[in-house]
A = this chain, B = another copy of it.
Amino acid sequence: MPRVSPAYLSRRRRQIPHAAIACFAREGFHRATMQDVIREARLSAGAIYRYFASKEAIIEAITAERHERELAAIAAARAADGGAAALRTLAREFFAPLLRADERRSRRVGVQIWAEALRNPRVLRIVRRGVDGPRAMLAALVGDAQARHEVPPRVDPDAAARAMIALFQGFVLQQAWDPRADVESYLAAIEIALAAISIRQRPPRRRAR
With contacts A112-B118, A115-B111, A155-B193 taken as known, whether A166 is within 8 angstroms of B162 at the C-beta atoms is: no
Chain B nearest Cβ from A26, distance in angstroms: 9
Q: What's the Cα separation between A199 and B202 when bound, in Å?
A: 13
Number of copies: 4
Q: Is A174 an interface residue (CB 8 A)?
A: yes
Chain B nearest Cβ from A20, distance in angstroms: 15
With contacts A30-B30, A177-B128 taken as known, whether A170 is within 8 angstroms of B159 at the C-beta atoms is: no
With contacts A31-B119, A118-B111, A199-B200 taken as known, whether A163 is within 8 angstroms of B189 at the C-beta atoms is: yes
Chain B nearest Cβ from A29, distance in angstroms: 8
With contacts A115-B112, A128-B177 taken as known, whether A186 is within 8 angstroms of B163 at the C-beta atoms is: yes
Q: What's the Cα separation between A162 and B188 when bound, in Å?
A: 12
* Chain B residue at minimal CB-CB distance from A190: B163
Q: Find residues 1-38 in chain A having any chain B CB closer than 8 Å to their own CB.
A: 27-28, 30-31
* Chain B residue at minimal CB-CB distance from A110: B115
Q: Do A196 and B200 touch (CB < 8 A)? A: yes
Q: Do A174 and B189 touch (CB < 8 A)? A: no
Q: Is A71 an interface residue (CB 8 A)?
A: no
Q: What's the Cα separation between A185 and B177 when bound, in Å?
A: 29
Q: What's the Cα separation between A127 and B175 when bound, in Å?
A: 12
Residue numbers in B under 8 Å from A167 (CB-CB): 163, 166-167, 170
Contact sample, A vs B, 23 pairs, CB 8 Å cutoff:
A27-B119, A28-B118, A28-B119, A30-B119, A108-B118, A111-B118, A112-B115, A115-B116, A117-B176, A118-B176, A127-B177, A152-B196, A156-B186, A159-B189, A162-B170, A162-B174, A163-B170, A166-B168, A166-B169, A166-B174, A169-B174, A193-B193, A196-B196
